[in-house]
């Protein structure tokens, strides 16, 4: 009997793969599958982590072209959902353009997103909206395609603003202040004038200017 056992040992030594227990054979492909699943999960997590600030999103501009908000990284942005036929239109457009004129040269932009969700007060086409803003108010700030900014249909960029602040637009001309790193600093509703929030914007712009001076 001992001779038979010795023969079996020698056979296994010569052919180790075929002498593994069935359970061990099953564990090898299972371990490989788990390793692949872990790698896929890491890849997915890395992709998700890229969209951690406002500037990582892509949006459609007023001319219908898909653009990345990355171009505004390093600058302060005031994101506003605008409308052409609202009671707040005249005062806000004038003040927003003045802010753009005063601070635009110093790493600042108003980013205007037309929206027809509130009172149906932005009914026209993108072309007509842009023409109205440029001709009536001399708007020189970037404008984007008419879109939804609240509810289930809100574009991802606005969902990020809402999630970051807990403040969701309920009317036209809500304003979100975004810092140079794409993080939302503060949000204001329609009743707060641009003049009232100007000090917050100016302070962020001032910090950029001072930082750039220190880097010289």
Least confident of 24-28, 59-63, 129-133, 180-184: 24-28
Among 154, 203, 202, 158, CA closest to 176: 158
12 pLDDT higher than 50: no
Average pLDDT over every residue of 96-109: 98
Torsion of CA 69, 169, 135, 78, to 10 degrees: -40
208 pLDDT higher than 70: yes
pLDDT class of 9 with cuts at 50, 70, 90? very low
Least confident of 22-36, 126-140, 155-169, 186-200: 22-36
Name the catalytic one among 2, 12, 19, 86. 86
Average pLDDT over every residue of 107-115: 99
The predicted pLDDT at position 214 comes to 80
pTM attached to this predicted model: 0.77
How far from 87 is each of 102, 121, 122, 173, 178, CA to CA, in Å?
24, 9, 12, 10, 25
Q: Is 86 a catalytic residue?
A: yes
17 pLDDT higher than 50: no
For the chain, first and last CA: distance in Å? Answer: 88
pLDDT for 33-45, tens place per residue?
A: 777 877 777 655 5
7 pLDDT higher than 70: no
Average pLDDT over every residue of 118-126: 98
pLDDT for 159-170, tens place per residue?
A: 999 999 999 999
């Amino acid at each position: 009997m001992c001779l038979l056992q010795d023969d079996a040992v020698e056979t296994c030594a010569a052919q180790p793969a075929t002498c593994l227990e069935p359970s061990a054979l099953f564990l090898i492909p299972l371990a490989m599958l788990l390793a692949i699943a872990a790698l896929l999960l890491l890849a997915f997590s890395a992709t998700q982590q890229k969209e951690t600030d406002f500037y990582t999103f892509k949006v459609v501009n007023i001319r219908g072209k898909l653009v990345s908000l990355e171009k505004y990284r390093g600058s302060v942005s005031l994101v506003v959902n605008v409308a052409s036929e609202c009671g707040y239109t005249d005062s806000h457009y004038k003040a927003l353009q003045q802010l753009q004129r005063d601070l635009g040269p110093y790493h600042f932009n108003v980013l205007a997103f037309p929206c027809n969700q509130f009172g149906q007060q932005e009914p026209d086409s993108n072309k007509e909206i842009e023409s109205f803003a440029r001709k009536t108010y001399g708007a020189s700030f970037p404008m984007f395609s008419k879109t939804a900014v609240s509810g289930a249909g809100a574009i991802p960029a606005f969902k990020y603003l809402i999630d970051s602040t807990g403040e969701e637009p309920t009317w036209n001309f809500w304003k979100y202040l975004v810092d140079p790193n794409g993080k939302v600093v503060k949000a204001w509703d329609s009743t707060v004038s641009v003049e009232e929030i100007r000090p917050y914007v100016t302070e962020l712009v001032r910090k950029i200017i001072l930082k750039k001076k220190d880097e010289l």
